Amino acid sequence: MENDQDHIEYITQLLESKSTAKQKTYKHLLEAFTMLKEEAARIVQELQKKAHPGDDDVTISFDVINEHEFHAKVAGDLLIFVLHTNVVTFDEEHFVMKDTYTRQNEYNRYYGQIMIYNFMADSLKFNRINDPGYLLARLMVNHENRFFVEGEGQLSFLFNKVSEGPLQRENLNALVKLALAIAIENDLMAMPYPQVRFITLHQKLEHTPDLGGGQKIGFRMSYQK
């Protein structure tokens, strides 16, 4: 009986500490996602006013898909912003785990995440389900609204350590602008000719990307050797 009571006390402690920290993390993440969505919409509106491409088919748009996803399209590139509802932590080799701030409080290690993916706009338009997308960046936010970003290009070093203060709207504005710029800067590269010499009738009928869809150059993710 005493052992059962110890378990109850332990579970109570977890609910009052770790679970509370995770809930605070998620609330900050929702606030960050709302601000990120607002900044993305504002930046797209500004681009629509200022940019005057020579072809009317070069379009710029913003769309809210649901409460956890929105899109920003600039010409042939589509950025997909996704809020993940689960709070995560990291393995011991991750730089966050070695940070002095993380070591000060065990609950500082828990983060919510917002992912930014780059797809070719035509991939969604024509439902080319096998087309690759690329993770441009992920924004991580914790229970004290401290943050960092892992990403490509300038995003790999601009916010590459845990912030000393809470996440600000200007941080999110910079994140959206850099993500858009990186997506546009990196061009589509044709697949090697031998890889597209043969197709099946199924591929032809289904209009799959095996008919010659390309891949983005400039995106070699950290896990690719």
Tell me: the pLDDT tens digits for 163-213? 999 999 999 999 999 999 988 887 555 556 666 566 666 665 665 544 444
Rounded distance, CA 151 to CA 41, Å? 21
Residues 164, 165, 169, 174, Cα dihedral to 10°: -10
Q: Please, are residues 134 and 155 in contact by the beta-carbon 8 Å criterion?
A: no
Percent of the chain clearing pLDDT 70 (strictly above):
73
- Whether the pLDDT of residue 116 is over 80: the answer is yes
Within the chain, strands assigned E span 60-66, 69-74, 77-88, 111-120, 134-142, 147-151, 188-189, 215-216
CA distances to 19, 142, 223 from 16, rounded to whole Å, are 6, 17, 37
Which helix (H) or strand (E) covers residue 43, if one does?
helix 18-50
pLDDT band of residue 60 (cuts 50, 70, 90) is confident
Q: pTM value?
A: 0.79
Q: Please, are residues 155 and 177 in contact by the beta-carbon 8 Å criterion?
A: no
Rounded distance, CA 25 to CA 166, Å? 12
- Whether the pLDDT of residue 1 is over 60: the answer is no
Rounded distance, CA 60 to CA 40, Å? 12
CA distances to 12, 40, 170 from 174, rounded to whole Å, are 41, 10, 6
- Whether the pLDDT of residue 95 is over 70: the answer is yes
Rounded distance, CA 155 to CA 15, Å? 35
